[in-house]
Amino acid sequence: MFYFLSKVLYALVAPTSLIIVLFLLYLVTKIRAYFYWAFGLLLILSNPYLAMRAMQLYEVPPIVIAKNQKYDAILLPGGFVSNYTIDGEVRVNFSDGNDRMMQAIDLFKRGVSNKIIYSAGADTVFSAYLPEAELGRLFLLKCGIPDSCIIVENKAMNTFENAVFTQKLLEKMDSAYATKKYVLVTAGFHMRRAHACYEKAGIHCDSYSTDLRSIRGKDTLLNTIIPTQGALQNWTLLLKEFLGLVVYKISSYI
């Protein structure tokens, strides 16, 4: 139920939803204030410069891992893999946020850790996807990661469950897991909530931010005045994460 409500709430308060509602209210009531608010929000939230600066303030900055730094495991929460079937063949479909997987593979190849703990279940509420971690595991194998180095948790449906279910998995593997050191790999805009969840679960980890959206644009004149869909997307992600932090705090998840 929590998963369903979170998705519905997110859809209702997304910037584009709010703008559309205001425009519809204007069409129905002919009250100009609704039109001005809708147009003003659209103008501000579609500005790439403002969106990039806001993202810079919220994203957790990336870190550099020293050559001799080792971790007991790389923690990889899901949210970027789905699947579809074509001519009877199941294919893996990666979303825009798959940079965290690429960076996790890079860390493994560099010898930062010899374990990847991939946590991601299946969205059975809004889709019929297979467990994400199982699909992602197949891709990791194709990239040369040995099966013995991949630990899969395939039940988690959100960030809170990523942390809690990973903690239970670690506890079964090693009773001294809380004394070990881990590196958490996820998007910079998602890192605040994710890191807080893992720490609350007793998993002490360093934050390795990926998918840095605040560096995607260039500070040119055209890029600061021409509205873009990407700016709206960044504001949507920021609002989602802010609401997530509030809800998680109220629910004592963090």
Segments in 30-148 forming alpha helices (H): 32-45, 48-58, 99-109, 132-142
> pLDDT band at 129, cuts 50/70/90?
low
How far is the C-alpha of 178 from the C-alpha of 213, rounded, in Å?
A: 32
How far is the C-alpha of 14 from the C-alpha of 90, rounded, in Å?
A: 32
pLDDT of 11 above 80: no
> pLDDT band at 225, cuts 50/70/90?
confident
Which of 1.10.630.10, 3.40.50.2000, 3.30.70.260, 3.40.50.620 would CATH assign to domain 73-211? 3.40.50.620
Spatial CB neighbours of 13, under 8 Å, sequence gap ≥ 6: 239, 243
* Integer CA distances (angstroms), 248 to 146, 157, 182, 189, 196, in order: 35, 14, 22, 16, 10
Give the model's pLDDT for residue 7: 62
How far is the C-alpha of 252 from the C-alpha of 46, rounded, in Å?
A: 34
> pLDDT band at 230, cuts 50/70/90?
confident
How far is the C-alpha of 231 from the C-alpha of 237, rounded, in Å?
A: 10
CATH 3.40.50.620 segments of the chain: 73-211
pTM above 0.75? yes
Give the model's pLDDT for residue 2: 54
Q: Mind listing the pLDDT tens digit for each residue in 69-94?
A: 999 999 999 988 877 778 877 778 88
Give the model's pLDDT for residue 79: 86
Mean pLDDT of 175-204: 94
pLDDT of 138 above 70: yes
